[in-house]
Structure 1
Amino acid sequence: MRRSLRDEFATRVVVADGAMGTMLQAADPSMEDFRNLEGCNEVLNLTRPDIVASVHDAYFSVGVDCVETNTFGANLAALAEYGIEHQVYELSEAGARIARGAADAHTAVDGRPRWVLGSMGPGTKLPTLGHIAYEPLREAFQQNAEGLIRGGADALLIETSQDLLQTKAAVVGARRALDWVGVDLPLIVQVTVETTGTMLLGSEIGAALTALEPLGIDMIGLNCATGPAEMSEHLRHLSRHARIPISVMPNAGLPVLTSDGAHYPLSPTELADAQEQFVREYGPSLVGGCCGTTPAHLREIVERVRGAAVLDRRPVSEPGASSLYAH
């Protein structure tokens, strides 16, 4: 039996992995690997599971506790752009199965538990702006979640959330999948706060907490868009007011555009310094990396914080209601 992630989150800092897309690109998959659907990384779960597994192995090899499945785009809006929206479940299940195999293989070597976080990305359509209706979005997220559960995920991670209505569709879809399969896994939500200080549609972190915590999620946190410096005040708010565990997975700084594309400037030591400070001051139970982070970044984070006791936060709930924009 795999130890419960909820028990781990309650007592110690758990370390997740870093970026997936850049690692897959570095393996230089062919157009045939992509089935001529260039950029659809989730197809590699079917055509090149060896490449996907190698990314998971690279992160497990530096000591992380969890890896995220290669399913960030296994949702209705993203797959519809390639005309394969009917494969939401198939690609989700395959991605979870690959990650599960990698986790179990590493555990078999040394006995240390490893976990799989089922990645549920936001897609490319915002229901609040009328890009897509709520019901089909929710139903597709349910398929996404069911595939991840049946493939062996230990938790569901709704990440890079930009629209609170889209996030609610993912939470409700995930909850329906858990009920349908008959399991009880942790449900984690990470919102993305832009350099403007709000989510893409203008929601501040207080609005996100007020809207999402009552949905019965197990953890709330931040990922993507910025580096740790820009996340600090938003994480402080969650630390002070969230009654559930919190997480943080920043980019390796703000991207710098170069002739070779985007470059993320934070070194492994700089990112680990920031995560160590977050653990000491704000008490996240789950830390990791997002865009621009590599196994080298995660190795230093593991050395600094993995297994550290979670800060004894004393959150003060702020009763209230939320609009789209503010608590």
Structure 2
Amino acid sequence: MRGGGLREALASRVVVADGAMGTMLQAQEPTEEDFQQLEGCNEILNVTRPDLVRTVHEAYFSVGVDCVETNTFGANLAALGEYDIAHRVHELSEAGARIAREAADRFTRDTGQPRWVLGSMGPGTKLPTLGHVPYAAVRDAYQQNAEGLLAGGADALLVETTQDLLQTKAAVVGARRALTALGSDVPVIVSVTLETTGTMLLGSEIGAALTALEPLGIDMIGLNCATGPAEMSEHLRHLARHARIPLSCMPNAGLPVLAAGGAHYPLSPGELADAHEDFVRDYGLSLVGGCCGTTPEHLRQVVERVRGLAPVERRPQPEPGAASLYQSVPFRQDTSYLA
């Protein structure tokens, strides 16, 4: 069954995912015709220039990563809606997954090392908590997104870069409905994004995210984007102490530094590898990778550093509670005398 091999790998060793996608695509200088006059819509390249997308996947597989993310970060209602092509969610999702699947299968055959595909489900540009878009519409579009990814051959569904807990729930529920509709069983991974403020975009703390999302039956929770590994450490510490499920981390290559040529990510490949090695040993991560600013060289060094490591056994102490949008409130009974 698809996804089963990935589950076994995550339980027995550290699995390495890829790094940045968008910058790698832009570096190949796609034309306006490639974008079908929808400049910046990278998902269109899944049907117009699959060779460009395949090149990125192959660059990461060539340095030894175990899995790549599909080029479907924006294949959702809000992002595609801005280009007036929201009706193409399923089509572009399936096309993106199929490109990654073909690359993964080829490298599996050529190397004998199993390679997997993570179906990327990005956050979109509308926040249902703020009333930008109805929850039901977002949920149903995420189901189309997930069904396309599964039809194209994804081994897992990765709900990533989430900034709004209601949007995250919509994506997870949409993913679950897709799995049920297609009779599939692959892991559902959620990766939240915490800003330099220490919270998600709408102010949610990591404890609120864990309390709200873990009961939805997700297979893994973690962090990605917005910051480098240094800023993620305390949030990972909280997850390591309280999460019942495995953990992941895909940081940026540090905080961006503005230079004459634009934003520059300062974290070197060796520094990213150092951070992931520490995180695996300290927090028991099962899945590691990179986000903005990371390159195949970053991931090559991560692969070398964590290859052969098994996730450190954690002894989490979950604390039952309820979450508001902002924080988790534990169910603690105060039995002290009150006069």
Task: Give, in whole Å, the separation in 1 of the partners of 2:256 and 2:135.
Answer: 32
Answer yes or no: is 1:245 the counterpart of 2:246: yes
Task: Give, in whole Å, the separation in 2 of the partners of 1:146 and 1:311.
Answer: 34
Alpha-carbon offset, residue 259 of structure 1: 1.9
Letter in 2 for 1:287: V
Unmatched runs of 5 consecutive residues or more in structure 2: 329-339
Alpha-carbon offset, residue 36 of structure 1: 0.6
Alpha-carbon offset, residue 307 of structure 1: 3.1
TM-score in terms of structure 1 length: 0.99
Q: Once the two structures are superposed, what CA deviation does each residue of 1:175-215 show, in whole Å capped at 9, x if it has no partner?
A: 00000000100000000000000000000000000000000
Answer yes or no: is 1:258 the counterpart of 2:259: yes
| Contact 1:11 1:310 (C-alpha < 8 Å) held by counterparts | yes
Query: Structure 1 vs Structure 2: percent identity of aligned residues?
Result: 78
Alpha-carbon offset, residue 111 of structure 1: 1.2
TM-score in terms of structure 2 length: 0.96
Task: Give, in whole Å, the separation in 2 of the partners of 1:264 and 1:144.
Answer: 30
Task: Give, in whole Å, the separation in 2 of the partners of 1:267 and 1:142.
Answer: 38
The number of residues matched between the two structures is 327
Task: Give, in whole Å, the separation in 2 of the partners of 1:10 and 1:242.
Answer: 15
Task: Give, in whole Å, the separation in 1 of the partners of 2:307 and 2:78.
Answer: 35
Q: Once the two structures are superposed, what CA deviation does each residue of 1:252-282 show, in whole Å capped at 9, x if it has no partner?
A: 0000111211100000001111111001100
Q: Which residue of 1 aligns with 2:167?
A: 166
Q: Once the two structures are superposed, what CA deviation does each residue of 1:289-321 show, in whole Å capped at 9, x if it has no partner?
A: 000000000000000003311100000001100
Task: Give, in whole Å, the separation in 1 of the partners of 2:308 and 2:16.
Answer: 8
Q: Once the two structures are superposed, what CA deviation does each residue of 1:225-270 show, in whole Å capped at 9, x if it has no partner?
A: 0000000000000011000000000000000111211100000001
Q: Once the two structures are superposed, what CA deviation does each residue of 1:133-153 show, in whole Å capped at 9, x if it has no partner?
A: 000000000000000000000
| Contact 1:14 1:307 (C-alpha < 8 Å) held by counterparts | no
Task: Give, in whole Å, the separation in 2 of the partners of 1:130 and 1:94.
Answer: 31
Task: Give, in whole Å, the separation in 1 of the partners of 2:107 and 2:204.
Answer: 40
Answer yes or no: is 1:207 the counterpart of 2:200: no
Q: Which residue of 2 aligns with 1:110?
A: 111
SS in 2 for 1:4: helix
Q: Which residue of 1 aligns with 2:291?
A: 290
Task: Give, in whole Å, the separation in 2 of the partners of 1:83 and 1:91.
Answer: 14
Task: Give, in whole Å, the separation in 1 of the partners of 2:104 and 2:307.
Answer: 17
Q: Which residue of 2 aligns with 1:33?
A: 34
Task: Give, in whole Å, the separation in 2 of the partners of 1:15 and 1:291.
Answer: 16
Alpha-carbon offset, residue 33 of structure 1: 0.2
Q: Once the two structures are superposed, what CA deviation does each residue of 1:145-173 show, in whole Å capped at 9, x if it has no partner?
A: 00000000000000000000000000000
SS in 1 for 2:312: coil
Alpha-carbon offset, residue 7 of structure 1: 1.2
Unmatched runs of 5 consecutive residues or more in structure 1: none
Alpha-carbon offset, residue 51 of structure 1: 0.3
Letter in 2 for 1:11: S
Alpha-carbon offset, residue 10 of structure 1: 1.1
Q: Which residue of 1 aligns with 2:129?
A: 128
Q: Which residue of 1 aligns with 2:55?
A: 54
Task: Give, in whole Å, the separation in 2 of the partners of 1:111 and 1:181.
Answer: 29
Q: Which residue of 1 aligns with 2:269?
A: 268
Query: CA RMSD of the aligned region, Å?
Result: 0.7
SS in 1 for 2:167: helix
Task: Give, in whole Å, the separation in 1 of the partners of 2:61 and 2:43.
Answer: 20
Task: Give, in whole Å, the separation in 2 of the partners of 1:302 and 1:116.
Answer: 17
SS in 2 for 1:119: strand
Q: Which residue of 2 aligns with 1:157?
A: 158
Letter in 2 for 1:196: T
Letter in 1 for 2:169: K
SS in 2 for 1:183: coil
Q: Which residue of 1 aligns with 2:235?
A: 234
Task: Give, in whole Å, the separation in 2 of the partners of 1:110 and 1:232.
Answer: 34
Runs ≥4 residues deviating over 4 A: none
Greater radius of gyration (CA): 2
Q: Which residue of 1 aligns with 2:279?
A: 278
